[in-house]
Structure 1
Amino acid sequence: MTIYRMDHVGVVVEDLAAAIAFFVELGLELEGEAAVEGEWVDQLLGLDDVRADIAVVRTPDGHSRVELSTFHTPVATRNAPRAPMNTPGIPRLTFVVDAVDDVLDRLRAHGAELVGEVAQYGNIYRYCYVRGPDGIIIGLVEELR
């Protein structure tokens, strides 16, 4: 058995337009948007009467994608927790950026909140985590070498 590649990461958000704007500000490119519904989606997700809108954003190099989904039906029964960083199973997406401080300032205008502080590891990189749309944890890494 062979894995060819990781195709994408999926994240459910409440406000699709705001999530798209956040990731575009981060530097990803909107690849496309679609409405999904029907028996195949119900089978795939193990839910009934799914109606959702999705958008796919990709990194500029074209190698990584994030699928953003918002569900109209069925109604979610609970929200994801805003758990601390050491919670088992908590997802985070990390991106290499040109300048952490600049990207952080731009993302704050889209509601991003710094989780800890911007930290520097030797002369190798500067790194921080922010909470983006719906509490998604995003890592920002600036390579110093």
Structure 2
Amino acid sequence: MALKRMDNIGIVVDDLEETIGFFGELGLELEGRATIEGEWAGRVTGLGDQRVEIAMMRTPDGHSRLELSRFLTPPVVSDHRNAPVNALGYLRVMFAVDDIDGTLERLRNRGARLEGEVVQYRDVYRLCYIRGPGGLLIGLAQELS
């Protein structure tokens, strides 16, 4: 059996509304919201009885999704949002944008802060990392050709 696709990337957040607004400003579309709870959900995650609010956000091309989750029970147990880029594990998500400077300006109005600086890789890309809501690490890339 061959892999069909990557369905989504999950990000646990502490402020769902703020994070939906931030990714909406970036250009993702809110596809839906739900509260997931009960014994069946806990069997999938291994967390037992859980209650989590989720929001599914879709990229404009319709091929990628972010699942934003705010856990009500059980409580969040660890926080790696301040980990540097070279930390082990899942750390960031990268988005391709048309205009990195315009995107940065819009996202700064929603509290984003630049990590390092915007750099150019040859004549191919302009790249940067930002910290979004709750300290989430997000990469932006603008193709130059």
> What residue ranges of structure 1 are gaps of 5+ in the alignment?
none
1:43 equivalent in structure 2: 43
Amino acid at match of 1:111: G
2:66 equivalent in structure 1: 66
CA contact (8 A) 1:83 1:90 kept: no
- Taking the aligned partners of 2:4 and 2:123, their CA distance within structure 1 comes to 34
1:117 aligns to what SS in structure 2? Answer: strand
Which moved further from structure 2: 66-75 or 90-99? 90-99
Inter-CA distance 135–90: structure 2 relative to 1 (3 Å threshold):
farther
TM-score by length of structure 2 reads: 0.95
1:91 equivalent in structure 2: 91
- Taking the aligned partners of 2:81 and 2:129, their CA distance within structure 1 comes to 17
**How many pairs were matched up?**
145
Give the percent of matched residue pairs that are identical in Structure 1 and Structure 2: 54
Which moved further from structure 2: 6-15 or 42-51? 42-51
TM-score by length of structure 1 reads: 0.95
1:82 equivalent in structure 2: 82
2:53 equivalent in structure 1: 53
Q: What is the Cα deviation at residue 90 of structure 1?
A: 4.1
Amino acid at match of 1:94: M
2:33 equivalent in structure 1: 33
- Taking the aligned partners of 1:50 and 1:15, their CA distance within structure 2 comes to 18
Q: What is the Cα deviation at residue 6 of structure 1?
A: 0.4
1:3 equivalent in structure 2: 3
Q: What is the Cα deviation at residue 126 of structure 1?
A: 0.6
Amino acid at match of 2:36: V
1:4 aligns to what SS in structure 2? Answer: coil
Amino acid at match of 2:98: D
1:124-145 deviation line (CA, Å, top 9, x unaligned): 1111011112222111111110
- Taking the aligned partners of 1:105 and 1:81, their CA distance within structure 2 comes to 22
1:124 equivalent in structure 2: 124
Q: What is the Cα deviation at residue 92 of structure 1?
A: 1.4
- Taking the aligned partners of 2:77 and 2:29, their CA distance within structure 1 comes to 31
1:22-61 deviation line (CA, Å, top 9, x unaligned): 1000001110000110111110111132111100001000
Over the aligned positions, Cα root-mean-square deviation in angstroms equals: 1.2
> What residue ranges of structure 2 are gaps of 5+ in the alignment?
none
- Find out whether 1:133 has 2:123 as its counterpart: no
1:63-102 deviation line (CA, Å, top 9, x unaligned): 0000000011111233224111111224211111011011
